[in-house]
Amino acid sequence: MKKKILFIILAVILLSGAYAAWKFLGPSVKAPENKYFYIRTGESFASVRNNLGEQGIVPGLKWFDWTSRLIGFKQVKPGRYEIRNGMSLLDLVRMLRNGKHSPVDFVITKIRTKETLASRIGRAFECDSTRMIEFLNNPDSLRAYNLDTNTVMAAAMPYTYTIRWNSDAGKIFEQFYRAYKLFWTDERKEKAKSLGLTPEQVSTLASIIDEETNAESDKPNVASVYLNRMAKGMPLQADPTVKFAMKNFGLKRILKAHLETDSPYNTYRNRGLPPGPICTPDLKTIDAVLNSPKTDYIYFVASSAFDGTHIFTSNYNDHLKYARIYQQELNKRNIR
């Protein structure tokens, strides 16, 4: 009888131990809907504990508490943590204790305004859009980078940046600026200097070209047109700068009234380059400016074939002829 009782006690102990081991070491953790668990800067251990329970990530708060005490998890570390279905409670708590967060892969393609950039950052990081736009609009913040509130977008180059989720506005911009400095090699800076331009001005010109055309073969010639106009003291008269000045990027046809828009970005009213980029330019377009051919082109107009290419001319009468053909095609297609 005694042996039977001892056997039952031993079995209960073993089963209890196995159950506890399964809770600690078994696949008991459930991933949240978007697979990431976020701990904000300054958040308390109690808040993190409650959030894990409310989101149904841990099998039970008592088991979480025991595991935390077992491995000494007391101090939370802010970040974005990837939670996998089936990971063990021990692995989860160890990850949180060690601060093994998952950084954000932030992709920049074409962005036209600082506000759009700040909005995207606010959706991707702990840093909200208000703090980011305050940084981008703060001359004191940008002075250390030799940039101002107009040229700052030149540093937001089209790359994929791997950045900690809880980085503040300054640290996020620092990542952009490092990539910007790496791109502008001594060779590229010398080419810009030979054109009489700063790197920021090259980026500004490239941004206009990117808004003018998607035809890669046309971009060097478009660059030569604008460089020739600047050399002659002519206004650039670039339609995309009018759209930027009006903040109307869906505008398909520039009318005479639009050309009167009062803005330093309106290159019909102001000579030379606008004060900063009108979008984040493609890296190939920057190089198209730096390596633009020597031509006598002064004018260009979109092809009436609407294939994305342009017709380049050095004679104003020829330009007017092709422009009329293009306008007639616009009217025929009822594009306004």
Structural tokens at position 253: 């046809």
Q: Confirm whether 196 is domain-assigned.
A: no
pLDDT of residue 33: 86
Domain boundary among 71, 98, 125: 98
Q: What is the pLDDT of residues 67-77, one digit of tens each?
A: 999 899 999 99
pLDDT of residue 59: 86
Domain total of the chain = 3
Q: In this structure, are 69 and 110 located in the same domain?
A: no
Q: In this structure, are 39 and 137 located in the same domain?
A: no
Instruction: Residue 233: give the domain boundaries.
Output: 215-332
Strands of the chain, DSSP E: 36-39, 79-82, 104-107, 160-163, 299-302, 310-313
Q: Confirm whether 193 is domain-assigned.
A: no
Average pLDDT over residues 307-329: 89
CA distance 289 to 206: 6
Q: In this structure, are 72 and 176 located in the same domain?
A: no
| pTM, 2 dp | 0.87
Q: Which residues contact 43 (CB under 8 A, 6 or more apart)?
A: 76, 78
Q: In this structure, are 222 and 148 located in the same domain?
A: no
CA distance 91 to 169: 31
Q: Confirm whether 189 is domain-assigned.
A: no
Q: Confirm whether 315 is domain-assigned.
A: yes
Q: What is the pLDDT of residues 4-60, one digit of tens each?
A: 554 444 444 434 444 455 455 557 899 998 899 999 999 999 999 999 999 999 988
Angle ∠(205,195,312) on CA atoms, nearest 5: 60
Q: In this structure, are 320 and 242 located in the same domain?
A: yes
Q: In this structure, are 76 and 143 located in the same domain?
A: no
Q: In this structure, are 252 and 297 located in the same domain?
A: yes
Structural tokens at position 231: 């050399």
Q: What is the pLDDT of residues 155-178, one digit of tens each?
A: 999 999 999 999 999 999 999 999
Indicate the residue type of 9: I
Q: Confirm whether 12 is domain-assigned.
A: no
Q: In this structure, are 62 and 31 located in the same domain?
A: yes
User: If you search the block for the tokens 């981008």, which residue do you land on?
Assistant: 136
CA distance 217 to 208: 16
Q: In this structure, are 39 and 92 located in the same domain?
A: yes
Q: In this structure, are 74 and 123 located in the same domain?
A: no
Q: In this structure, are 115 and 148 located in the same domain?
A: yes
Q: 26: domain CATH number?
A: 3.30.1490
Q: Confirm whether 15 is domain-assigned.
A: no
Q: Confirm whether 50 is domain-assigned.
A: yes
Residue 94 has a CB neighbour count (10 Å cut-off) of: 14
User: If you search the block for the tokens 């330019």, which residue do you land on?
Assistant: 281
Instruction: Measure CA 225 to chain center.
Output: 30
* Crossing angle between the packed helical segments 129-136 and 169-183, to the nearest 10 degrees: 50
Q: Confirm whether 119 is domain-assigned.
A: yes
Q: In this structure, are 274 and 320 located in the same domain?
A: yes
Q: Which of 247, 154, 248, 164 is nearest to 202 (CA)?
A: 154
Domain boundary among 98, 130, 162: 98
Domain boundary among 98, 115, 137: 98
Asked if pLDDT for residue 276 goes beyond 90, the answer is yes
